[in-house]
Amino acid sequence: MIETSRYITVGAPKHGLNVARIASLARIALSADEERALQSQLDRVLAHVELLLEADAIAVEPSHTGLEAAPLARDQRADSLSPREALAQAALAAEGQFAVARFVEG
């Protein structure tokens, strides 16, 4: 067990978190140094959040929203940005649309 601060103590996580794999899912390129640092940091965070596994919550329905009592309001038609305004910040725009390099290769 490592004493990380006066407030919490964490050991090794029960789960394996593979930073390289997660980073590729999250589309973030990492240097080798970054990967090493993140691996040890995230292991410690994970060990900390594993406290959740102890909670007896089988009988409880998960809560997905910020406010249970108020259902989402029905969509209403409203004015929005013009195509010109929406495209003003694009890296590349053509023919009134966002332009990107080809996504599907080959």
Binding mask 41-70 for another protein (x = CB under 8 A): xx-xxx-xxxxxxxx-xx-xxxxxxxxxxx
| Shortest reach from residue 102's CB to another protein, in Å | 7
Q: 1-28 burial, b for 16+ CB within 10 Å, e for fewer?
A: eeeeeeeeebeebeeeeebeeeeeeeee
Tell me the C-alpha distance between 20 and 12, whole Å.
19
Phi and psi of 20, rounded to 5°? -60, -40
32 part of the interface to another protein, by CB under 8 A: no
Tell me the C-alpha distance between 58 and 64, whole Å.
16
103 part of the interface to another protein, by CB under 8 A: yes
13 part of the interface to another protein, by CB under 8 A: no
Positions touching another protein (CB under 8 A) are 4-8, 10, 15, 17, 19, 22-30, 34, 38, 41-42, 44-46, 48-55, 57-58, 60-70, 72-73, 75-76, 78, 81, 85-86, 88-91, 98, 100-103, 105
